[in-house]
Structure 1
Amino acid sequence: MGAFDTLRIAGSALGMHQTWLDTLAHNIANINTVRPTSEAAFRPQYVVASAQAGGGVGVARIVEGSAEGRLEQAPDNPMADAQGFVRAPDTDLASQMSQLVMAQRGFQASVQVTKQAQEEYAAALQIGRG
């Protein structure tokens, strides 16, 4: 492993976790988005991570969830159909929040690895100057 591989690998993890956090925030912000039954439901996004050649992790792709969603009874909603239904996303808030905690912890761990590597490289430079 090269001298700066630790920083490169931790940096790739930071990028992947940031993308994951962004998609989770997008999903959570739209968890109550309803649409008429004639339209597709809000489609949550899911990050698919992959290992990178030479180490590290990246975002392979972002997959969208089902456009079918679920029907909710909301007769007072102006978008409701004749039977009083609207289309809501099929997104589980508990699952999204659990994933949010995991993504935050992964991001924090990557930050710690980056800080530690920077401190070690700085110490090595000081030894070289000494």
Structure 2
Amino acid sequence: MGAFDTLRIASSSMGVHQVWLDSLANNIANVNTATSTSQTAFQAQTPIVRSSAGGGVEIAGIALSDPNGRVTYDPDSPLADANGNVRLPEDDLASQMTQLVMAQRGFQASVQVIKDAQETYQSALSIGKSS
């Protein structure tokens, strides 16, 4: 492993976690988005991650949740069909918030690895310098 591989790998992880955080923010903002039963539900986005050729990770694509979502009885909604049903996304707020905590922790860990590597490299550069 080269001297700067740690920085490159942690940086790629930070980028992946940022995409995950952005996706989760969009999902959370739309978790209660209702549509009529004749339309598709909001599709939550989940990044698909793979290891990259040179080490680290990268986004391979974005998976979308089921467009059928879940049908819920809400007769007061202006979008309700004749039976009083609307279509909601299949993902719920609790699931999205759990993933949000994981993504935040992963991002924070990547930042800490970068800080520690920079401090280590800085210390190595100062070895042998006169006071």
TM-score under structure 1 length normalisation: 0.95
Measured in 2, the distance between the counterparts of 1:9 and 1:112 equals 13
What CA distance in whole angstroms lies between the structure 2 residues aligned with 1:122 and 1:71? 57
Deviation at 1:54, TM superposition (A): 2.3
Unaligned runs of 5+ in 2: none
- 1:70 matched to 2:65? The reply is no
Deviation at 1:93, TM superposition (A): 2.0
Q: Show the counterpart of 1:12.
A: 12
Q: Post-superposition shift, 1:71?
A: 0.8
Q: How does 1:11-50 map to 2 (within 5 A)?
A: 11-50=11-50
Does the C-alpha gap of structure 1 residues 76 and 68 become closer, same or farther in structure 2, counting only changes over 3 Å? same
Measure, in 1, the Cα distance between the counterparts of 2:118 and 2:19: 23
Structure 1 gap segments, 5+ residues each: none
Q: CA deviation at 1:113?
A: 0.3
Q: In the alignment, what sits opposite 2:120?
A: 120
Equivalent residue letter for 1:112: Q
Aligned-pair distance for 1:82? Answer: 1.1
CA RMSD in angstroms comes to: 1.1
Paired residues in the alignment total 130
Aligned residue for 2:54, secondary structure, equals coil
List, as ranges, runs of 4+ consecutive aligned residues in structure 1 with deviation greater than 3 Å.
none
* Residues 68-94 of structure 1 deviation map (CA, whole Å, 9 limit, x = unaligned): 011111111111111111111111222
Separation of aligned partners in 2, 1:11 and 1:77:
45
1:109 — aligned with what? Answer: 109
Identity of aligned residues (%): 61
In the alignment, the residues of structure 2 paired with residue 39 and residue 9 of structure 1 have an alpha-carbon distance, to the nearest angstrom, of: 42
Q: Distance in 2 between matches of 1:129 and 1:43?
A: 57
